[in-house]
Structure 1
Amino acid sequence: AKTGMPADPPLAAGIFVADHSGALSLASGVLAALFARERTGKGQKVDASIYGTMIAMQGMEINYTSITGVEPERAGRGHQFLRGVWGAFPTIDGYICIAGVDEQRWPSFCRIVGIQHLEKDPEYSDNVIRNFHGDKIQRVLDEIFPTKTTAEWLEELTGADILATEVVDYRAMLKSEQARVNGYLLELDHPVAGKVLVSGTPVTINGEVAAAAEPAPELGQHTEEVLLELGYTWEEIGALRDTGAV
């Protein structure tokens, strides 16, 4: 309910954030249960839900409303709880995202974008104003950032330790060498699609990065193998198949 501009109707997220994060909650619970079993020898019953995960992921905003009684508006181009200039701005050839300009970086930011005259202006320079009434500074920056390319802005901003990055689409991200090196993208030799890149895992153990992804098993692909490992005979497996049990 907080995605989009304040005047927008409720907008869905552009990714399956609820499903994926709900799965991560369950995985975390399972890992905690396994750890408890190793320590105590007792099994645990783990329960996780998408609904509960969505509440937990919005803890800051929900707690703010609970404490103040104020319902935050939709996030718009930034987030009113974050410090400093925040959000995406158009450049000559794309978009650049500024991930917060705090008080320490504000003078350098003003110099780079050429708004030194606003550095001390309380209508633009105060952090509270930039957070809760950021449309003023956004309008100014929307006129300035389109004067240079994304690469030119990134060179200047990151050189001054200002948190900024390029806004990329999925096709551009699939070309990221950083993502490939870290195993965030893996090559998959798919039996139908051929060699393609797929998302990997953001977690590495002892720096070990997977070399490639494996195709997901087809439905029932390992049924016989698993049943044999459990001690079933081929005759018993055949009987189970005849009855439709497997």
Structure 2
Amino acid sequence: MTGPLDGVRILDLTSNFMGPYASLLLADMGADVSKVESKQGDTTRGIGPCRNRGMGPIFLHLNRNKRSLVLDLKSTDGNAALKRMARSADVLMYSLRPKAMERLGLSYEDVRAVNPGIIHCGMYGFGQNGPYADRPAYDDLIQAAVGMPVLQSRKAGPPDYVATAIADRVVGMAATSAVSMALFRRERTGEGQEVQVPMFETFAHFVMGDHLYGHTFVPAIGDWGYQRMMNPDRRPYRTLDGYIGVNVYIDKHWQRFFEVTGHPEMAQDPRFADIHGRTENIGLLYEYLGRVFETKTTAEWMALMTEADIPIIEMNTPESLLDDPHMKQVGFFGEQEHPSEGMLRTLGIPQQWSESSPELRYPAPRLGEHSVQLLAEYGFSDTEIDGLLSSGAVQAGDSGDSYKANSGD
């Protein structure tokens, strides 16, 4: 057994960031994920620097532990092949809009007809019972729709997006959770089901728990937005020689901090004595922190704050994180020889399991690399596979050596 989901078969019809992140988390836990791609391949194959076309860094990180099958789902033979595979699959995941799935004959009703026990999980922009149901959606659009750029603007400047695909990845995690719970229920009842994971509603749930704030009450008894989160001085603090992240948060933290910085009387000030007062006056405290931390070096503050048991950490860049002593000790960043891409740096599986420990089993696949292998595992004969290849309904990938030759590298 490799991972708690060992033996779970997933047909993954997703592309870009959100869906592949969801299936990545399931694949890392041991699920057997068949990444079903068009002849053009997942769009993320073309993003970023690469040694070979179609094998960019975003794709490599999102699609390890999966195998690639190229199917033309618009062709009669390719569509029929997927439905046949669905008979023995546990999960079908997709990120197309539901109407596109209906046109392909792959709606929940269509797939349930061949496999009543399947978990059919859709990840798309908007809930299907609202006026935005048919709209396309991407991470930036959902961030904007939920108000994230406005929340960012209260810190500084005009509305701005968060500098990572936060909506895609949050919704992907929600989809992973939903699929896992649906599988758990099926273990109890034997029943499959449809699971819908809309981006707009899911990301709103994620953001508004912090920022509905005064509008939680009817009528509202204050403004929206958690003040501490939006304050422009909530940031890493400059020291004499670098930056640090510090969370002076609970009463004891502040009491110790005021004492360490030579102003113990501030702990008795009603503006700062408890979390309610500090939240109302957080701007004053952040300004104070900013002034104080510029007076010593990072090493000095690390020693002082650690001694006072106040949460602190040195600020990393993505590059310096590679040499972070904790990350090095736990082995989070590893190296793996890819059949066509050479030596790659890998991201570790964060959790630790006492049993059924998951592993990095497969590097990210070349386009169509496992088409023949997967069809055979799903019960197609050699003759049937040859027919699908001949008709163009299926495309098989090249070997590593010929892949490099075809890419021009």
Q: In the aligned structure 1, how far is the partner of 2:269 from the partner of 2:167?
A: 41
CA distance in 2 between partners of 1:201 and 1:98 (Å) = 27
Deviation (angstroms), 1:110? 0.9
SS in 2 for 1:188: strand
Q: Does 1:222 align with 2:391?
A: no
Report the secondary structure of 2:197's partner residue.
coil
> Counterpart of 1:43?
192
Rounded to whole Å, the distance in 2 between the matches of 1:213 and 1:157 is 41
Superposed displacement of residue 243, structure 1:
1.7
Percent identity reads 29
Q: Could you tell me which amino acid in structure 2 is paired with residue 233 of structure 1?
A: S
1:50 deviates by 2.0
The CA deviation at 1:171 is: 0.8
Give the direction of change, closer, same or farther, for the CA distance of 1:12–1:138 in structure 2 (3 Å limit): same
Correspondence 1:198 to 2:346: yes
Matched, 1:57 2:206: yes
Deviation at 1:11, TM superposition (A): 1.2
Structure 2 match to 1:121: 269
Paired amino acid for 2:158 = P
Deviation of residue 79 (structure 1)? 2.0
The 8 Å contact of residues 246 and 313 in structure 2, kept in 1 or not, is answered as yes
Change (3 A) 1:115 1:87: farther
Is this contact kept in 1: 2:349–2:359, CA < 8 A?
no
- The 5 A counterparts of 1:88-127 are 88-125=236-273, 127=275
Residues in 2 aligned to 1:36 and 1:173: alpha-carbon distance in whole angstroms:
40
Query: Matches of 1:93 and 1:152 in 2, distance apart?
Result: 10
- The residue number in structure 1 matching 2:393 is 245
The 1:150/1:4 distance shift into structure 2, 3 A limit, reads farther
Distance 1:230 1:196 in 2: 31
The residue number in structure 1 matching 2:229 is: 79
Q: Does the 8 Å contact 2:210/2:225 carry over to 1?
A: no
Bigger relative contact order, structure 1 or 2 (CA pairs below 8 A, ≥6 apart):
2
Alignment of 1:114-193 (within 5 A): 114-125=262-273, 127-182=275-330, 184-191=332-339
Q: Which moves more between the two structures, 121-130 or 11-20?
A: 121-130
Q: 1:193–1:228: structure 2 CA closer, same or farther, 3 Å change rule?
A: closer
- Structure 2: how far apart are the matches of 1:209 and 1:227? 28
Unaligned residue ranges in structure 1 (runs of 5+): none
User: How many pairs does the alignment contain?
Assistant: 241
Q: CA deviation at 1:118?
A: 2.9
Partner of 1:22: 171
Give, in whole Å, the separation in 2 of the partners of 1:192 and 1:94.
Answer: 40
Which residue of 232, 236, 246 maps to 2:380?
Answer: 232
Note the C-alpha offset of 1:28: 0.5
TM-score (norm 2): 0.53
**Separation in structure 1 between the aligned mates of residue 248 and residue 346 of structure 2, nearest angstrom:** 31
Q: CA deviation at 1:178?
A: 2.3
Q: Offset of 1:90 from its aligned partner?
A: 0.9
Give the AA of the match of 2:215: T
Q: Do 2:237 and 2:243's aligned partners in 1 also have CA atoms closer than 8 Å?
A: yes
- Pick one of 56, 62, 67 that aligns with 2:217: 67
SS in 1 for 2:229: coil
Deviates most, 12-21 or 115-124:
115-124
Instruction: Normalising by structure 1, report the TM-score.
Output: 0.83
